[in-house]
Amino acid sequence: MRAVTERGLQVVIGLEIHAQLLTASKMFCGCAVAFGAPPNTLVCPVCLGLPGALPVPNRRAVELGLRTALALGCRVHPRSQFHRKNYYYPDLPKNYQISQYQYMDHPPLATDGWLEIEVDGEVRAIRIRRVHLEEDTGKLLHPQDGRPRSLVDYNRSGVPLMEIVTQPDLRSPAEAREFLLELRALLQTLEVSAGRMEEGTLRVDANISLRQPDGTLGTRTEVKNLNSLRALERALTFEAERQAGLLAQGTPVVQETRHWDERRQVTFSTRTKEEAEDYRYFPEPDLVPLHIDEAWLDAIRASLPELPAQRRARYVTALGLGRHEANLIVRDPKLAAFFEATLAAFPQPRTVANWLVGDVAGVLHAEGREIDQTALTPARLADLLRLVEEGRISIRAAKELLPEVMRRDDPPAALVAERGLEQLSDPEALARVVDEVLAAHSQPAEEYRQGKDRALAFLVGQVMKRTGGRANPDLVNRLLRERLRNA
């Protein structure tokens, strides 16, 4: 961000994250929540906003909101209120959204929390302004069939959302990305949201402004349509540079909502930014306030799992993992569960971690799958690693076999036998091959005796070639050194 740096400006970012909650039904009605259902098949008078329909809060959604608030160290308000947020849009059937807001003496579900992130070795606590509950809108569809029209699918209307709003504590696009990664890991660990940006179950809007060297905070813009971590970082980088460029020209920044165009890699203006008064918030007359008692909070607090930060610290201090490997595992709760289960059968944390974040992750990335979408199980991975540890197969053979282990239900040992990958570890048989290689390559043997260690690698390669790569390399090295030393 050259223009920002050259002018001595500081980037100031706050995020608004919407997480779809893992409930079976919608926020205020009994309609099912399901991804990919045919349009307008999961609707009823309540989520369609028909006259006379009355909302009823989803207790499970409230509980998931409380789990998140407690994990973020928030102050949970014993009495909170739903409000009507009034605005017109085609996918909002009631012309208002039932939400929560810090309005007069009616607080949202929870406020004043924090979440720690680490960027470039520095740990910072990013403050959480509020955690509140609301309902989702419908979804506009724009068929590309040459006809100028838009359609609307109300299946998503009324789906439970939790909005997490940060204070403007983030100081770079990289920090914003890191925060979202950490928050997503937390939500998935708590099992409150699937957190899949590609499915829309995790969405983020970003407010960004620039602070002058004298401390004056500039006008902010809101950036929307950020449907991936990469889009978040790129959009904020572009927007910071755009604002810095305007200031350099003496042009004021306009407070507005801008969308990110992934194809053109630019933001573009869509509307003037609304303020709270534009939404005309007032208490929802069809819903009584939420009352949260201490007994309920204590039960939820006792049910919280080990959180990502706690798990990361344990992996580093107790299991001896590097922070990078620990972070990669913790950020994917499914991978973390797989790691823990594998350790129960093969208690070598660093070996298991290296395989999971290296070769296993490589196959998953290449095939576009998650670890629970493969045939690989903790027991089968432990079996594969044990074959290497016992010297029955080489590491190279294990890496070659891994994609097949991840596709088939057969035990690794059966796949090894099927493909003839078992390592040759018979000293007498290998000694005969070593002798043949030394007889056929007397010059490299003499070079090694004269102190040229690279000649040994050539001889090892010849043994491996004659055995089809199945010879135990450690045993081959030992036998060659013994023969050459005693010759």
Q: pLDDT tens digits for 427-470?
A: 777 788 778 888 888 787 777 777 777 777 888 788 788 777 77
The pLDDT, as a whole number, for residue 104 is 62
Q: Which ranges in 107-172 belong to alpha helices (H)?
A: none
List alpha helices for 318-453, DSSP H.
Answer: 323-330, 333-345, 349-355, 361-367, 378-389, 395-405, 412-419, 427-440, 442-449
| Phi-psi map region of 468: left, alpha, beta (phi>0 left; psi -120 to 50 alpha) | left
Structure-model confidence comparison of residues 429 and 327, the more confident one: 327
The per-residue pLDDT for 273 is 63
d(CA 247, CA 218): 10
pLDDT of residue 199: 85
How far is it, in rounded angstroms, from Cα 374 to Cα 367? 10
144 compared with 213, residue with greater pLDDT: 213
Calpha distance 486→354 (Å, rounded): 39
The pLDDT score that the predictor gives to residue 441 is: 83
Region of 441 (left: φ > 0; alpha: ψ -120 to 50; beta: rest) is beta
What per-residue confidence (pLDDT) applies to 342? 98
Range of weakest confidence among 39-48, 323-332, 358-367, 449-458? 449-458
294-298 contacts, C-beta under 8 A, 24 or more apart: 296/66, 297/66, 297/70, 297/76
Q: Which residue has the higher pLDDT, 120 or 93?
A: 93
- Residue ranges covered by each domain of the chain: 2-296, 308-419, 427-486
Residue 186 is classified by DSSP as: H
Q: What is the C-alpha radius of gyration for the chain, rounded to an integer number of angstroms?
A: 30
Residue 122 makes CB contacts below 8 A (sequence gap 6+) with: none
What pLDDT shows up at residue 364? 95
The pLDDT assigned to 476 comes to: 78
Residue 272 has pLDDT above 70, yes or no: yes
**Higher-confidence position of 105 and 179:** 179
d(CA 86, CA 94): 9
For 241-257, the pLDDT digits (tens) are 999 999 999 999 999 99
Three-class SS state of 383: helix
Q: How far apart are CA 75 and CA 447, in angstroms?
A: 74
Q: What confidence score (pLDDT) does residue 363 get?
A: 95
pLDDT in tens, 337-393: 999 999 999 999 999 999 999 999 999 999 989 999 999 999 999 999 999 998 888
Q: CATH code for 427-486?
A: 1.10.10.410
Q: What is the DSSP letter of 357?
A: I
One-letter amino acid of 458: F
Q: Is the pLDDT reported for residue 284 higher than 70?
A: yes
pTM of the full predicted structure?
Answer: 0.88
Residue 213's CB is within 10 A of a number of other CB atoms, namely: 9
Longest pairwise C-alpha distance within the chain: 99
| Average of per-residue pLDDT values in the chain | 91
Q: Smallest Cα–Cα separation from 203: which of 183, 220, 173? A: 183
